[in-house]
Structure 1
Amino acid sequence: MWSLFERIKDVGHPDEEMLSVYRDFGVVKKSSRGDNFNKTAENRDIYQLIDDGWLVVNRMKAWQGSVGISAHRGIISGHYICFRPRHDEDSRFLNWLLRSDIYAAEYRRLSRGVRPNQIEIDNDGLRVLPVHLPPLEEQRRIADFLDAETARIDRLIAASHKQSNLIIERFTESLRVLTTTTGLGEVTSTGISWMPEMASAWQLMKIGRCFTTSSGTTPRSSDVTYFDGPHFWVNTGDLRDGAIEQPKKTVTDTALADYPTLRIYAPGSLVVAMYGATTGRAGILKVPACVNQACCVLSELGPVSSRYAFLWFRAHREEILKLASGGGQPNISQDLVRSLRIPAPSRHEQDEIVGQASSLESMSSRQQQFQMRRAELLTERRQALITAAVTGQFDVSTASGRNVTDGVSA
C-alpha cells in the first residue's frame, strides 16, 4: 500500500464541501444523503482536505466497509486516515478492490481493540497491506463491468425498498378506510379536516367518553431496589404498533409501594407513546404491566374496544402528530388524546373490522418480508460479485450481466 499512497493530513480548509464515508457507497458528498445525521463541527478547520483519487479509511469501521477512493474534492472527518495517491493505476478499480469482502476481512484482522466490535486499524497496518493488481487495461475492464452491474443491482435493491414502503402505505390506507367508512355504504361529514368522512350509521365519539386515560412514572434510577422485579414496566421503546408481550424492563414491589402512579394495567389495555423517539406509536398489553410517564394508557369504558382504537390510532398517527405541541419532537398530551374524536361502529362491527385488519396485516407482512429478503439477497450478490471480479474469479470481458441476479430478478 505504501507504494501506492502517501499518508497526508491537510487541515484548515473550512470552506470546502463536506464529504462522508459510507459502508455501502464509499466516499460521497454529505449533501447527497438524507440519512446522514452526524453533525458538522462548528470549527471546520479540524476536517481534512482530500481530492479525486485519495484513499479514505474510517479507522474504527474499516472492517465494516467504511473505506473508499474519493471521486470528489472536499473535507472529511479529522479522525479518518487519508492517503494521497502516487500511482498510475485505475482509481475506480482500486476503490472496488479495497472495498471488497476479502479486504474487509483483512482490515478486521489488522484492527485492534478491547472489544470485538470496538476495534480500529492504524497506519502501520495499512501501509504494508499487499495490493494485488492486474494489468491496467484489465483494471479498467473490471471497473467498467462493476460500475454497470452494481448500478443495475442497486436499482433493483432500491425498487425492493420502494415496494416495501408502498406495502406499508397501502396497509395504512386500508386501516384508514376500515376505521372510518369501511369503503361501503353511505357516509357523512365529520367536520374534521384530516378525517372528513365516516360511515353514516356510526357515532363520532370523543376518546375521553370511550376510555379512561392515565400514565405512569420512572422510579429513581439510583435506587437498585426499584428495578429487576416481578412486574413488567413498559417504556415507549416497547411500543412497536403491535402486541406488548415481553417488555424489556421490570420493577419491584418496593417501586409500586413508593410510587402510587405505578399502577398495574390489565392485559388488553391500549398504550400510546406521548413523547420521545416513538411518539404516536401504539401497542396492546398482552401481560399485566405498569408504564413510565411517556406512555398514555387507555382503559375501556364500553363504547369502543381497545383493539379497534389501536387500529384507528395507527391509521391516523401522522395526522394526530400534526396536532401535537413541541418543535422538532412533538409531544402528545393526555388532554389531546381525550379530545380526539373517533368513529364508533357497533362493538360487533368493531370486532369484524379488527378481524379484517388482522388478515390484511398478515398478508402485508408476508409481502414486505419477501421484498426485504429480496433486497438482502441482492446486497449479498452485489458484494460477492465485487469480490469475484477484483480477484479474477471470472473474466469480466465475457461475463453476462443477465445471470448476475439469478433467483432475485425483478
Structure 2
Amino acid sequence: MTTKIGSGKTPSGGSESYLTSGVTFLRSQNVHFDGLRLDDVVYISEETHREMRGTRVKPGDVLLNITGASLGRVSRAPDNLGEANVNQHVCIIRPNAEANPRYLAYALSSQPVQEQISELQVGGNREGLNFEQVGNLAVPAAHTEEQRRIADFLDAETTRIDQLVAAKERASDLIDERRVALTSHLCLRGLDNGAERADSGVGPLGSVPEHWEVSRNKNFLMEVAELSADGTEELLTVSHLTGVTPRSEKNVYMFKAESMAGYKICQPGDLVINTLWAWMGALGVSHHRGIVSPAYGVYRFTSENMVPEYFDLLYRTPEYVCEMTRHSKGVWTSRLRLYPESFLALRSPIPPRSEQEQIVMILEQELEPGRRLQESIRRSNALLAERRQALITAAVTGQFDVSTASGRNVTDGVTA
C-alpha cells in the first residue's frame, strides 16, 4: 500500500503568528480517532500558507499524530475541509490509488498498528516517530474493493458509537455548566438572595453581599518559595479541571526533568497557581505535601479567618479567572503570565468564616451527584472507545466478513 508521507511545520513566527481567522492550521489537539475537531482550531495568514506550500493538507489525506500525549491518534481530512495546513507534530499520509483513505485511517487506528506505535516510543523518544518509522508500520492489507466495503461498514457502525458518545458528552457538559453557575453564584452572591449588595470594586466580579469584606490577596496570602534539596518529594501537578493532584495519579505524558532538586515545596492547604495557565484557571488548594514546578506560584494563607477550600472555588470561577487574565502579562493569550506581584495585588470578596464554610459544604453536597454521574459517563465512554477499536480491529484484520456482518450489538450493555 504505497503512500506519500510528510509532515507540517511551525510557522516562522511560531504561535504568535496564529490568527482568529484565515487558513485553518491543524495541530495535534485537532486530530482524534472520531475525526477532526475544530472547536479549538487556530488560523494562519494566506501569506504564511503560501510559504508552507509543502505541508498543505488535501482532502483524503490521513493525519497521524507522531509526538506527545496524543501519539497515534489518526483522522482522515474530510472533503469539505478547505484550505488547511498542519504543524510538525502531525504526519500527513497521502494514499495512492491503491489505498482507500477511509480504510487506511481505520487500519492505522486498529490495535495491531497502535501497538506498533507504542512500541516505537518505548524508552521515551522525545522526538516522536520519524517518517521512516511511519512508513514501516505494518498495516493490514486488503484489495481495493474489500477496503471500500470495510470502510463503508465501519463508517456506519462507528458513527452510531460516536453519536452515543457525543450525547453522553453533552450530558456531562450540562453538569459542568450547572457546577460553574452554582459555584459562581454562591462564591460571589452568597447564601441569601435577599441580602443587600454593594459593588465589589472588581469589574468582572460585580456586586457582592454588603457585609462581605473585599481585600487584596496580599493581606491574607503570602508567596512561599521553600525549595527541595534533592527533589525526592512527591511530584504534584496542577490542572484547571482537577486542581492539585499527585502526578502519579494522572496520565501525564510530558517528560520529567532529570533532577527535581530546586522544585518548590507545597504543603497541604497551600494555594498553587500555574503561572503559565492561570488564564485557564489552572490552580488549586493542595491536599498533599509534595513539590511543584519552579514555574508555579505557591501561596500560603496567613489568616485563620480564611477557609482555603472557599478560595479554591472562588479563584476558579469564570469571573475571577477573567480578573486574573486582565492582570496577566503578555501579548498573546497563550503566552500570558500571572506573576506573584500581580496576583497578590488583586482584590477578593471575603465572606465571614462561617459563611465560607457553609458555601463549601453546600457546594460539596450539591455537586457530588453530578460528579458521580460524570464518572459513570467517563467509564461508559471509555468502554465505548474500547468497543469501537475492537470493531475496527476485527474488520480490518478479516475476523469477519463485513458484507454479511452487523455491528448492531457493539453498544449493547453500555449505559450512562
Tell me the CA shift for residue 10 of structure 1: 12
TM-score by length of 2: 0.67
TM-score by length of 1: 0.68
Deviations 1:347-380 (A, max 9, x none): 3333232222233343333222222222211211
SS at match of 1:206: strand
Does 2:96 match 1:85?
yes
Does 2:109 match 1:99?
yes
RMSD of the TM alignment (CA)?
5.1
CA distance in 1, matches of 2:49, 2:124: 31
Q: Match of 2:18?
A: none
Matches within 5 A, 1:127-206: 129=138, 131-133=140-142, 136=145, 138-192=146-200, 193-199=203-209, 202-206=211-215
**Which of the residues 385, 388, 411 maps onto 1:382?**
388
Which stretch of the first structure deviates more once superposed, 366-375 or 160-169?
Answer: 160-169
Does 2:213 match 1:213?
no
Counterpart of 1:326, as a letter, is K
CA distance in 1, matches of 2:266, 2:245: 12
Tell me the CA shift for residue 342 of structure 1: 1.0
Deviations 1:132-179 (A, max 9, x none): 32672x543332221122223223323333333332332232222323
Q: Work out which of the two has the higher radius of gyration on C-alpha atoms and give 1 or 2.
A: 1
Matches within 5 A, 1:9-408: 24-25=32-33, 32=38, 34=40, 44-45=51-52, 47-48=54-55, 51-52=58-59, 65-66=72-73, 80=91, 82=93, 85-87=96-98, 90-105=100-115, 111=120, 120=129, 123=132, 126=135, 129=138, 131-133=140-142, 136=145, 138-192=146-200, 193-199=203-209, 202-207=211-216, 211-217=219-225, 227-228=229-230, 237=238, 242=243, 267-268=268-269, 270-273=270-273, 275-278=275-278, 280=281, 281-284=283-286, 287=289, 294-295=296-297, 297-315=299-317, 316-327=319-330, 328=333, 329-331=336-338, 333-334=340-341, 337-345=344-352, 347-408=353-414
Deviations 1:98-140 (A, max 9, x none): 432233345667x59865787747659947957532672x543
CA distance in 1, matches of 2:107, 2:76: 10
How many residues align structurally?
380
Deviations 1:7-56 (A, max 9, x none): 57799xx999766677634986x9x4626799998994573567555666
**Shift in alpha-carbon separation, 1:37–1:382, aligned structure 2, 3 A:** farther
Tell me the CA shift for residue 272 of structure 1: 4.6
Structure 1 contact 236–276 (Cα < 8 Å) conserved: no
Tell me the CA shift for residue 283 of structure 1: 0.9
Deviations 1:46-68 (A, max 9, x none): 7356755566666779x953566
Deviations 1:174-195 (A, max 9, x none): 2223234445451222214433
Deviations 1:177-219 (A, max 9, x none): 323444545122221443334445x33331459x433213486
SS at match of 1:276: coil
**Shift in alpha-carbon separation, 1:407–1:64, aligned structure 2, 3 A:** farther
**Shift in alpha-carbon separation, 1:299–1:93, aligned structure 2, 3 A:** closer
CA distance in 1, matches of 2:298, 2:26: 42
CA distance in 2, matches of 1:128, 1:275: 40
CA distance in 2, matches of 1:59, 1:234: 27
CA distance in 1, matches of 2:369, 2:224: 35
Structure 2 contact 26–41 (Cα < 8 Å) conserved: no
Structure 2 contact 237–246 (Cα < 8 Å) conserved: no
